[in-house]
A and B are shown apart, each in its own frame.
Chain A
Amino acid sequence: MTRSRNFAGYAEVAIILIAFALLWFAPLVVGDYWQQLGFRTLIYLTLAEGWNLMAGSAGLVSLGTSCFVGLGAYVAFGLLNGMGFPLPLTLGASAAAGAALAVLVSPALFRLRGLYFTVGTLALAELLRLIMVNVSAFGGASGIFLQNDPPALPVLFHYALGVALVASLAITACTRTRASVIFRAVRDDEDAAAQMGVRPFRVKLAAFAIASALAGMAGAVQGVKLGAIEPYGMFGLQWSIDTLTMVIIGGVGLRLGPLVGAVFLIALGEILADYPAAHIAIAGVILIVLIRFAPRGAVGFFGSMEQARRGRAAA
């Protein structure tokens, strides 16, 4: 059992490394349009991987992704503009800031179970956005410009690729090692897990902090690409809606869920590019239908269809 799990884990790491290595050369092959699309998909994948870890492994449903995306971008701009940090170090600092905020607010958000975490994250995102809007030191409602020019698109693509790679490997580490058992135990029955000597608070906090660090990094790269950030965009509820939608579409708790969801949502956005409002409403309808009829998302749905087909073939 242990050996086969280890083997599957190594195989997963190998697949991820090969896929990302191949993608590294994408800017040599494809034009600006596909690089832009790829950049967005990688940022979304990073956010969705973190959200999936929280919801799928620790049962935490967050509406606060935007909070950490915005925080990451603002921290990055502060360090780049104010202290001339190099970009890779800045990304690390944005990740650390995300994780630190998660730890800081966890006593409030984990105090009551389940639902309060969700509304607490929503309130936290709103609080941070309002603070950025009102405090002129943070640029106020008009935001901050990056003093130096942002890097070229291929470079940004490589940064997004790096961030998504960190996300993918972190999630593999959480789901392929002994940690995955502990995560699942807490998700399925917090009290039983506590009886067995697991500390639910720490486990949930770990998932929340990892997801927040990933969102912080993603926000930093996104902000640098934009070259100018303002609170309504960087702290917009849209980040949280999209992240949640991706994972529910792909399949909560499934390894491929975030990837499928990210590709689907980006493709949907492209198809409906002329009707941005319709894109959001359609995402809402898809959410309702999937929650009702395919709670394990597209990957889960097609997976069980495949199983049923095989079952029939065997019989």
Chain B
Amino acid sequence: MPDVTVASSTIASGVLLGGMLGLTALGLSIILGVMRLVNLAHGEFLLVGAYCGLFLVQLSGVDPLIGLPVVAIIVAGLAIPLYRLLLQPLANRGAEAQMMTMFAVSIILQNAFVLFFSADTRSIPERFAATPLTVGPVTVPLMYLIGFAISVAAILAVHWLVSRTGFGRDLRASAADPAAATTLGVDVRRVQMLTFALGAACAGVGGVLIGAGFQFGPSSGASYLLNSLAIVVLGGLGNVLGTLVGGVVLGALQSLGGLTLGDGYRDVVGMALFLAVLAFRPGGVLGGARG
């Protein structure tokens, strides 16, 4: 076991990364809840956001954190035609057809990333990434804390959107019973399209935050997808705030796993946790809106 400073800093970093990934997981969760679709291209949506952030910085020199709304709009704007052209025509064909289609989109995007951006690992240049923040024995890059704070703020904003607005009411109705919602005059297709765009935007913003604090490459998507899924099942499906808690818990456990077993075991912990939760508490550890 390493000394206290290293251990506490590693765990703090894990918690903050988990919180950042919570936003991406939230996007996955609302798409799953409303569309019954496991968006297998979610990791690639995150990478689209990360690459957007990177090129925004390189082209305009704007701080990536200020560019976040632009990235959110770009990724959501990419998701809408994907929904209209690929997913909507499959709406009545069962969950598998849409999921396979998004899987195909994910492999096409991966190849496009390699083709256009090369297979290099990159990181978004961000002045806070190199600035250390020390509180007691804990030292983390300031960027982690900023990313965490933005992620929490975005998750709370989505929570407000889902629980307090008219769109949120339609969203919850469409998730609970699409047929009944249609009868009551909810345009379920429109809600699904907007949900898909919102979920993609969550992934895109998450991608900028993660891309500024960590490294990413064209094939990093699968790992982010699986960790996000682990967070969703930990927090419970349809539980917006549970997703944040799930992210923090996953991040802390991954860091603990990395510290005690070796760094390579971080992702092992995530996958093992995911399968264990599926086996023993499929409704989510925190209890979800649906089982």
> CB distance B96 to A111 under 8 Å?
no
Known: A112-B278, A116-B282, A283-B107. 4 other contacts (CB 8 A): A114-B96, A123-B229, A284-B104, A292-B89
Which B79-136 residues have a C-beta within 8 angstroms of A? 86, 89-90, 93, 95-97, 99-101, 103-105, 107-108, 110-112, 114-115
Chain A residues whose CB sits within 8 angstroms of the CB of B86 once the complex forms? 288, 292
A124 to B96, CA, bound (A): 19
Majority secondary structure, B binding face: helix
- A61, A281, A287, A291 pick with most chain B CB within 10 angstroms: A291
Q: In the complex, A217→B126 CA distance in Å?
A: 49
Q: Could you tell me which residues of chain A, from 94 to 153, have a CB within 8 Å of some CB in chain B? A: 105, 107-109, 111-112, 114-116, 118-120, 122-124, 126-127, 130-131, 133-134
Taking a contact as CB atoms under 8 Å apart, the answer to whether B278 and A108 are in contact is yes
B191-227, CB < 8 A from A: 222-223, 226
- CA of A109 to CA of B279, assembled, Å: 7
From B40, B93, B271, give the contact of A127 (CB < 8 A).
B271
Q: Is A28 an interface residue (CB 8 A)?
A: no
B237 to chain A, nearest CB (A): 9
Closest to A279 in B: B111
Chain B proximity of A263: nearest CB distance (Å): 20
**Interface residue? A87 (CB, 8 A):** no
Q: How large is the interface on B (under 10, 10 to 19, 20 to 34, 35 or more residues)?
A: 35 or more
Asked if B226 and A126 make an inter-chain contact with CB atoms under 8 angstroms apart, the answer reads yes
Residues of B within 8 A of A278 (CB): 111
Q: List 26 A-B contacts (CB under 8 A).
A: A63-B40, A108-B276, A111-B282, A118-B96, A118-B99, A119-B226, A120-B274, A120-B278, A123-B275, A124-B275, A126-B267, A127-B268, A127-B275, A130-B265, A130-B267, A130-B271, A133-B264, A134-B265, A134-B268, A277-B111, A277-B114, A280-B110, A284-B104, A288-B105, A291-B100, A292-B86
Q: Which residues of B contact A131 (CB under 8 A)?
A: 268
- Pair B271/A126 contact, Cβ less than 8 Å: yes
A237 to B101, CA, bound (A): 17
Tell me which residues from 252 to 284 in chain A have a Cβ below 8 Å from any Cβ of chain B.
Answer: 277-278, 280-281, 283-284
Q: Does B262 contact A (CB under 8 A)?
A: yes
Min CB gap A144→B, angstroms = 18
Query: Interface SS of chain A: helix, strand, loop or mixed?
Result: helix
Assess whether A295 is interfacial by the CB under 8 Å rule. Answer: yes
Cα distance, A130 to B262, chains bound together (Å): 12
B287 to chain A, nearest CB (A): 15
Asked if B100 and A284 make an inter-chain contact with CB atoms under 8 angstroms apart, the answer reads no
Do the beta carbons of A115 and B95 come within 8 Å of each other?
yes
The chain A residue sitting closest to B102, CB to CB, is A288
Say yes or no for A45: interface residue by CB 8 A criterion: no
Task: Report if B272 contacts A (CB, 8 A).
Answer: yes
Asked if residues B275 and A61 are in contact (CB atoms below 8 Å), the reply is no
In the complex, the chain B residue whose C-beta lies closest to that of A141 is B264
A130 and B268 within 8 A (CB): yes
- State A127–B265 Cα separation when bound (angstroms): 10
A63-B103, A291-B90, A295-B93 known; A280 and B275 CB under 8 Å? Answer: no
Given A134-B268, A284-B104, are A105 and B93 neighbors across the interface (CB < 8 Å)?
Answer: no
B244 within 8 A of A: no
Identify which of B100, B103, B115 contacts A277 (C-beta below 8 A). Answer: B115
